[in-house]
Structure 1
Amino acid sequence: MSLPPGFLDELRTRLSLAQVVGRKVMWDQRKSNQGKGDWWAPCPFHQEKSASFHVDDRKGYYYCFGCQAKGDAISFVQESENVGFMEAIKILAAEAGMPMPERDPQAQAKTDHRTKLAEVMEEAVKFFRLQLKTQAAGEARAYLARRGLQPQALDRWEIGFAPQGWQNLYEAMTAKGIPDDLLLAAGLCKKSDKNDRRYDIFRDRIMFPIRDGRGRAIAFGGRAMDPNDNAKYLNSPETDLFDKGRNLFNVRNAREAAGKGQPLIVAEGYMDVIALSEAGFGAAVAPLGTAVTDNQLQMMWRISPEPVIALDGDKAGLRAAMRVIDLALPMLEAGKSLRFALFPDGMDPDDLIRAKGASAVQEVLDAAMPTVRLMWQRETEGKVFDSPERRAALDKILREKIKLIRDPSLRRHYGDAIAELRADLFQTRRNDTPRFDTGGGGGQRRQWQPRGKFAPSMATAGTKASELATGTADENLMRETVILAIFVANLDQVEAFEERLERMECYNPENGRLRDALLRTIGEHEPKSVLEEQIGVHALENLMGQRHIAITPAIRRNGDRDLVRNSLIEEMDKLFARRGHEIEMAEAVEEFAAIEEGDEGVTWRIGKAALAVDPTTRREVEDTTEVVIADNGLALSKDERDMFRKLIETLGTGSEGKKSSN
């Protein structure tokens, strides 16, 4: 339906976004400023304790600094109520006291048709429920009783029965005056290819009504009573009411239960959902006879930020889990993740509940694995990695998977998690744990650990070693800040340097946050606004106002594209090279602290550290410091020799022989 010009503007003008959002959140009164229309609350779209969800009531715009949800009153109602655009307009128009414009005749006819189909489906629900109480359904009732469903549960789930015979439903519906075309359009009957007769689609089956988020009966799922039937479960065909890839079984009840704090559980079938719900796990849903679709994933995330995919622990269940992972990876972001609960081999949730009770299911749910761990398990379980080639093949597979994640910050965290799992598998020394390359180039490299006063929250190799590195940290921190400032002044360059910016480890959390915010501006129509929302205008002004930043040529002359690009390349090369140098020097320090007197390996490690500096940076060292050549022919600068002389004195070895050798 097309709305008349100005309708949406008038709707937004009449509404207060704070009032619309206020129905779903509890405002943080200390942080909010009602007089300025500035409201803060914990985000309704992801679980958090702090108030990171901001509403600008004057502009009619909301933004969450945690999960990046954003939009206006219409999008808020769509997301929070799980409704479409026009349904959200209806809700808001009623609240604003605005009559909806008249629909065009064609659109009105489609709506009227869907309304009639929904009425026909409700009549079918009544028919099937009545049939379950007849003598013909005795075997079906016995089966349901064996599955632990009491009469009250049958009523709650509106379970019914489609009797044997070709026209039971058809005759009952036509006797009520329902025309053939509606029975066909509702997916309840079919027309015979051999003659003009109509016949029922569902025969000799236990019937489960499928309702949408608004509570309308839109389809049925039928379980065959005949064990030799070709289709154990049969769903309604797609109709104007029913799109199986855009709906979930029990979605309405699950949304309500999840809103009360229950975890959203995604099971495989109707009986699993019913068993879970009856056992107290009310936020349970199931896809409708197909593998999970991207639309269904989005529906799940609108209900809960971290749905738990419950699957059988057999090979088929694992294959299903991997299909979900492959589908979800490009869609994952902060506030949208998955966990996987693998049930004991050969058992589904219904089996486990009947065998061991709800507590056994809770144990499985508590042990649910995050996506990254199940992805790792698939590629490593039962395999041997006893050669460099096999390890390289593993790295390649995982790297290709991680590249599918679009969010750069999340992609980097996945790389870190894989690196830890890899280190555990190969029993690598903790200090040698590689940072797993997430597609930013550079392959495997050691995880740089910031040292000294710029990393108070991170473990260092030791106080004595960190004290010696403070001067280098000062220089590198300044260089990385200049690099980030150049990007802030030249946001059009961020995408061109995306891979290198992703690889740039930051010396302090604030710079790391700025780096992540810069990466999130890629592909945005207004990157400056996105950056200001995440970092703050005042913070950015403070950064750019620092004297050493303001006099940087690439910032003073940011219209010179070549200068900006060449400056970024040169400064990032120097920063990466210096960090490689720090890694080698730190390892030399750690080795020195552990070796026996007389070991000459330290000189070799110092020389190796000198070679880690790229030619440009090495020339800077050679131009400004005295360089001596050790016995092994490697260059040692005066600063490096002084540093190790200081280390020896600090360690207090008391060995004059060892001092003179350095």
Structure 2
Amino acid sequence: MALSPQWLDELRMRTTLSAVIGRTLRLTKAGREFKACCPFHNEKTPSFYVNDEKGFYHCFGCEAHGDAIRWLTDQRGLPFMDAVKELAAEAGMEVPAPDPRAAQRAEKRASLHDVTAAAQAWFEGNLRGADGSQPRAYLSRRGFSDATIREFGFGYAPGDRQALKRALGQFDETMLSEAGMRIEVEGKDPYDRFRNRLMLPIHDARGRVIAFGGRILDSEANPSAPKYLNSPDTPLFDKGRTLYNLHRAAPAARQSGRMIVVEGYMDAIALANAGIREAVAPLGTALTENQIELLWRQVERPILCFDGDNAGQRAAMRAIARALPMLRPAHSLAIVRLPAGMDPDDLIKDKGHEAMEALLAQPDSLLDTLWEFERAASPLNSPEDKAGLKARLLDHVDSIQHPDIRALYKRELLERFSAFAFPPRPPREARPRGDWKKSGFKPAAPTLAPEARERLIRAMQGGARDALTRAVIAGLVRFPDQIMRHEDTLSELARRDPNVGPAIDSLLEAAEALDLSAQSTISLETGLPAPPEKTLFAFLDEGTDPDDAREDLAEAVSLLVERPALESALSAATARFERDPEGSIAEQARLRERLLALNERLKRFGRRKAAAADESES
């Protein structure tokens, strides 16, 4: 009976490993794991550990390792299918009925393993033979030891288009093609996929050869050929579900507690050659969701170590974007940034093994990398630029599915954005505030000139274009210590809206004369105009806590910048739609969605006030 890998994975997920092992072995809680004396060898000090999150047991003494199925077959001696049936019954799963077609597919996979194994033996023989001088010289220049060359199974594919077909004559053409070794073109004779390339076998988690990667040796003779060429997807090989070197790296990761992800298989081999054996690599694609899950089965925080060039940083961000929706408690990614223009092999050769270890010892968090990447993604010279940064950060946050992690990311990123976009202004040395305090003198609140006072009152009573602008001006009069914090935003607003420009200029002039340490206010002599009874803005209510009011006011100021910027972008997208309907539909939809989100933020002001009113009444 052939059971699909997906069905077996589901069975493992529904099985609590410690409960299965605990029936016959006394387990003791040890942090997130359980420990016991190993049942597979005699010992007095426990070295056998069970990890429910990762679904495996491991003995650091005798290297016994496996999952729930392996436990029942190895420790209790059950046949494989009997072990599966027992676990399935406990998990409430039905064992699939025998499927003749599935059995045929399993038989085909077994036969294709024979093809790849035979091809691997032939490639290795070629490397050792007379035709292997050029690839051997390349490996010597790279500094790979003989032990590394043997361990990773380096081989050589000659340039003859029919050489592999002749060498593997025991297999028919169909099998060679299905295994990815030959290319069939309609109307032409099939030919070998890998020619004049240094060959590397790609293994599954059980260590069986399932595919190959080949590096070109003479790129000048064939400049259009890809530098690296991998096998296509086959019944044996799915590149999105495979990590190169996982079968070697997983045992090393259990010892070191870390798993390193590099860009390519040559990087993984270079690290192993330097003694860092827990490195894996995706195979010609960005890191996929399935590969991230494979990594999390080994360690909770794998380290992405991509090249220091722009392409490497983009690869890291693609992996982060894939991981964000999948984040769950204690499971994340760490990121190491290599020096610009260097890959792991370059760094080790230039600065030694210790330099690589030093970087791996202090990786950046996923959140830190996300913040730094987006902050450096584009210039931040205007309020619109800063609003764009905020929008990009919130787009990332919205992709996170876990509610607690999403809330924590949002809080942290918005705090960083606020500190970056509104840095505290340094004190003005010209003001002798210390002398004022020593003398007991307290400066009077600055009184505006009559024309400035009229500008402010007129703006607050209806001169501004909308309720939000009027409310912000009134809020800044009430909390003038916030004016200089938002100086850049207010100056931009004054430039855009001539109706409120004079009022904002008056605010900025008045703020220059404030003694913030004395918490002086702007005096309008006749007092502030009373806010409307049904105002949505809690920062205008006398009963609102001052700290909460200042926080709401800051968000209202940021909305003044975001809204016109979005409206302007939407208008431009609409204009482009008339010229290129297909090209701008998605852009318009995205901008409208962001405008709806912005309007929802405006509505929250009203909900906050209503909630505050209900709380005060109760």
TM-score with structure 1 length normalisation? 0.55
Q: Which residue of 2 aligns with 1:203?
A: 195
What secondary structure sits across from 1:220 in the alignment? strand
Please say if 1:217 is aligned against 2:209: yes
State the Cα deviation string for residues 326-376 of structure 1 (Å, max 9, x = none).
Answer: 111111111221111111111100111112111111222234221222221
Q: Equivalences for 1:335-414 in 2 at 5 Å?
A: 335-381=330-376, 383-414=378-409
CA distances 1:121-151 after superposition (whole Å, capped 9, x unpaired): 1111111111001222211111110000122
Counterpart of 2:544?
Answer: 612
Instruction: Check conservation: 1:262, 1:282, Cα contact below 8 A.
Output: no
Q: Which string of whole-angstrom CA distances, capped at 9 and with x for unpartnered residues, describes residues 177-213 of structure 1?
A: 2333322221112335344x44211110000000010
**Cα displacement (A) at 1:2:** 8.0
> What amino acid maps onto 2:229 in structure 1?
L
1:43 pairs with 2:32: yes
Once the two structures are TM-superposed, the CA of residue 390 in structure 1 deviates from its matched residue by: 2.7
Amino acid at match of 1:179: D
Q: What does residue 466 of structure 1 align with? A: none
The reply on whether 1:76 has 2:51 as its aligned counterpart is no
Q: Which amino acid aligns with 2:206?
A: R
Q: Residues 385 and 21 (structure 1 numbering): CA distance in 2 closer, same or farther, change over 3 Å? A: farther
CA contact 2:2–2:103 (8 Å) conserved in 1: no
Cα pair distance change 1:290/1:307, threshold 3 Å: same
Q: Does the aligned pair in 2 maintain the 1:170–1:198 contact within 8 Å? A: no
CA distance in 2, matches of 1:599, 1:423: 24
Aligned amino acid, residue 184 of structure 1: S
Q: Residue in 1 aligned with 2:167? A: 172
Using the TM superposition, give the Cα deviation of residue 26 of structure 1 relative to its aligned residue in structure 2, in angstroms. Answer: 9.6
Question: Which residue in 2 is equivalent to 1:188?
Answer: 181
Aligned length: 412
1:41 CA displacement = 3.9
3-state SS of 1:333 partner = coil
How far is the alpha carbon of 1:276 from its aligned partner?
A: 0.7
Counterpart of 1:112? 107
- Measured in 2, the distance between the counterparts of 1:187 and 1:356 equals 39
Q: Residue deviations 1:382-432, cap 9 Å, x none? A: 7443443332222111111101001111112212321342244235359xx
Deviations for 1:527-574, whole angstroms, at most 9, x for unmatched residues?
A: xxxxxxxxxxxxxxxxxxxxxxxxxxxxxxxxxxxxxxxxxxxxxxxx
Query: Do the aligned residues in 1 keep the contact of 2:181 with 2:194 (CA within 8 Å)?
Result: yes
| 2:81 equivalent among 84, 97, 100 | 100
Task: Give the 3 Å change call, closer, same or farther, for CA 327–418 of structure 1 in structure 2.
Answer: same
What letter corresponds to residue 328 of structure 1 in structure 2? A
How far residue 234 of structure 1 moved from its aligned partner, in angstroms, is: 0.6
Counterpart-to-counterpart distance in 2, 1:357 and 1:620: 63
Q: Is the 8 A contact 1:79 1:302 kept in 2?
A: no
SS at 2:237's partner residue? coil
Q: CA 1:183/1:421 → structure 2, altered by over 3 Å: closer, same or farther?
A: same
1:330 aligns with 2:311: no
List gaps (5 residues or longer) in structure 1: 29-39, 46-61, 70-74, 81-86, 431-583, 588-592, 625-662
CA distance in 2, matches of 1:163, 1:263: 38
Q: Tell me by how many angstroms 1:321 deviates.
A: 1.4
Superposed displacement of residue 617, structure 1: 5.4
For structure 2, the 5+ residue unaligned runs are 35-49, 60-66, 83-96, 426-478, 483-514, 529-537, 546-608
Superposition misfits of 4+ residues, deviation over 6 angstroms: 604-609
Query: Aligned partners of 1:153 and 1:93: how far apart in 2?
Result: 34
Are residues 226 and 409 of structure 1, via their aligned partners in 2, closer, same or farther at CA, if it must alter by over 3 Å?
Answer: same
SS in 2 for 1:132: helix
* Aligned mates of 1:2, 1:282 — CA distance in 2: 34
- Name the SS for the 2:347 alignment partner: helix
Q: Is the 8 A contact 2:17 2:51 kept in 1?
A: no
How do residues 412-427 of structure 1 correspond to structure 2 at under 5 angstroms?
A: 412-426=407-421
Q: Which amino acid aligns with 1:111?
A: A
- Taking every aligned residue pair, what percent have the same amino acid on both sides? 37
- Relative to structure 1, the CA distance from residue 382 to residue 127 in structure 2 (aligned partners, 3 Å threshold; closer, same or farther) is closer
Match in the other structure for 2:309: 314
Match of 1:510 in 2: none
Q: Give distance in 2, aligned partners of 1:26 and 1:330.
A: 38
Q: Secondary structure at the match of 1:100?
A: helix
What's the CA shift for 1:109?
2.2
Mapped to 2, the partners of 1:315 and 1:607 lie a distance apart of 45
Tell me how far apart the structure 2 counterparts of residues 265 and 198 of structure 1 sit (CA, whole Å). 39
Asked if the contact 2:17/2:55 (under 8 Å) is kept, the reply is no
SS where residue 389 of structure 2 aligns?
helix
- Shift of the 147–331 alpha-carbon distance from structure 1 to 2, 3 Å rule, reads same
- Aligned alpha-carbon RMSD (Å): 4.1
Q: How much has 1:106 moved relative to structure 2?
A: 2.8
* Aligned twin of 1:261: 256
C-alpha separation in 1, matches of 2:202 and 2:302: 20
In the alignment, which residue of structure 2 is the partner of 1:163?
158
* Structure 2 counterpart SS, 1:309: strand
Q: How does 1:280-291 map to 2 (within 5 A)?
A: 280-291=275-286
Determine if contact 1:262/1:281 at 8 Å carries over to the other structure: no
TM-score, with normalisation over the residues of structure 2?
A: 0.59
- SS of structure 2 residue aligned to 1:114: helix
Q: Which moved more, 1:318-327 or 1:362-371?
A: 362-371
Q: Secondary structure at the match of 1:113?
A: helix
Amino acid at match of 2:81: M
The DSSP-based 3-state class of the residue aligned with 1:218 is strand
Distance of aligned partners of 1:78 and 1:403 in 2 relative to their CA distance in 1, 3 Å threshold:
farther
> Which digits, 9 at most, give the CA deviation of each residue in 1:473-529, with x for residues without a partner?
xxxxxxxxxxxxxxxxxxxxxxxxxxxxxxxxxxxxxxxxxxxxxxxxxxxxxxxxx
Contact persistence 2:305–2:337 (CA under 8 A) = yes
* Distance in 2 between residues matched to 1:181 and 1:288, nearest whole Å: 25
